[in-house]
Amino acid sequence: ESEFLEADFIVDDKIEKLEEDEDDDLTEDSCISEEREMIYDGYKRKTVEFWKSAKKGRYSFPTAKQKFKKLKSMRQLYRWKHYIQKGGTSRKKKLHISEYVLQNFKETNDEKRIIHDLDLRRWALEAKAQIDLPSFKASATWILNFTRKHRIMSRKITKFVNRSATRDKEQLQPACQEFISIRTIEIASLRGIERSEWKFRTTCRRSLFRPANVFVAASKSGKLTTQHFQSWFTNVFVSATGSFSVLLLDSWSGHCPTNLQEFMPKER
């Protein structure tokens, strides 16, 4: 089933018409065998039609060969006749199916619609219904070879966007722009805020509840540093304890007694 994927598409309308003039030189290179020689469908059809167009029965093989130089044997002529009646070889039919599926894939992809493997199989079976190829099943192997041949990648869908979400996005965009324009502050207003900031801080200090037994200190990282510990030792521990008090310290270098010795009052 994957044999046709290795071949290039052949478009009949791009093939130059072969003239039927007896003077045409249709002789092929003798080094090219009958199996390797590329003979198009139009040439085969014209040969068979001429062979069957005699007034009484059919033309003889020498007469047909004289007009169509690519004809090699009577057996080949019967094979072409069977090919025309059958509608083409299996390889040609598989090429037609592949081209049909690829065309539908491109059209659906241009419309930004989701495409699954079942869609590829459905299109392949639709093309099969147009031709006579009972052996074609559009199996998973054929779909895999088709996607590899045309470099079609499978992508996982992580989010579905429905029509309402798209409509809400269109309505949300103007609202966002309006909100940004309202919140935008000019330089003059910014200067006014900077000047009035000290009043805000003064108001907080005047109205904020400050208990006597709570010591508050600011920190950039939110962690205890040596400076914080020294400040706590001086402002909290020394002032709240007597001469006969014991402080149990951790092994951290910031808690070493040598670092706190300079902050110890002389009377202690």
Provide CB contacts within 8 A for 42, sequence distance 6+: 12, 15, 17, 18
Choose one of 155, 172, 195: the last residue of a domain.
Answer: 155
Residue 209: predicted pLDDT: 75
Mean pLDDT value across residues 182-210: 57
Mean pLDDT value across residues 246-266: 71
Q: Is residue 139 part of a domain?
A: yes
Residue 124: predicted pLDDT: 92
Q: Is residue 30 very low, low, confident or very high in pLDDT (cuts 50, 70, 90)?
A: very low
Q: Is residue 66 part of a domain?
A: yes
Percentage with pLDDT > 70 across the chain: 69
Contact of 230 with 263, CB cutoff 8 Å? yes
Choose one of 110, 134, 155: the last residue of a domain.
Answer: 155
Instruction: Report the C-alpha gap between 46 and 88 in whole angstroms.
Output: 14
pLDDT greater than 80 at residue 129? yes
Q: Is residue 148 part of a domain?
A: yes
Number of domains the chain contains: 2
Provide CB contacts within 8 A for 99, sequence distance 6+: 9
What average pLDDT does the chain have? 72
**Domain with 142 in it:** 91-155
The token pair at 11 is 């478009």
Looking at the structure, do residues 95 and 56 belong to the same domain, yes or no? no
Residue 17: predicted pLDDT: 36
Looking at the structure, do residues 106 and 125 belong to the same domain, yes or no? yes
Q: Is residue 211 part of a domain?
A: no
Q: 16-20, 43-47, 72-76: lowest mean pLDDT where?
A: 16-20
Contact of 81 with 59, CB cutoff 8 Å? no
Q: What is the pLDDT of residues 65-75, one digit of tens each?
A: 888 888 888 88
Q: Considering the entire predicted model, what is its pTM?
A: 0.37
Residue 1: predicted pLDDT: 39
Instruction: Report the C-alpha gap between 213 and 200 in whole angstroms.
Output: 25
Looking at the structure, do residues 108 and 131 belong to the same domain, yes or no? yes
Q: What is the pLDDT of residues 136-176, one digit of tens each?
A: 888 999 999 999 999 988 887 777 767 776 667 777 788 88
Q: Is residue 62 part of a domain?
A: yes
Q: Is the model more confident about 148 or about 251?
A: 148
Residue 189: predicted pLDDT: 54
Looking at the structure, do residues 82 and 102 belong to the same domain, yes or no? no
Q: Is residue 68 part of a domain?
A: yes
Instruction: Report the C-alpha gap between 104 and 208 in whole angstroms.
Output: 72
Q: What is the pLDDT of residues 197-238, one digit of tens each?
A: 455 455 556 667 777 778 888 887 777 788 888 888 888 888
Choose one of 69, 88, 107: the last residue of a domain.
Answer: 88
Looking at the structure, do residues 70 and 110 belong to the same domain, yes or no? no
Q: Is residue 50 part of a domain?
A: yes
Looking at the structure, do residues 114 and 84 belong to the same domain, yes or no? no
Q: Is residue 80 part of a domain?
A: yes
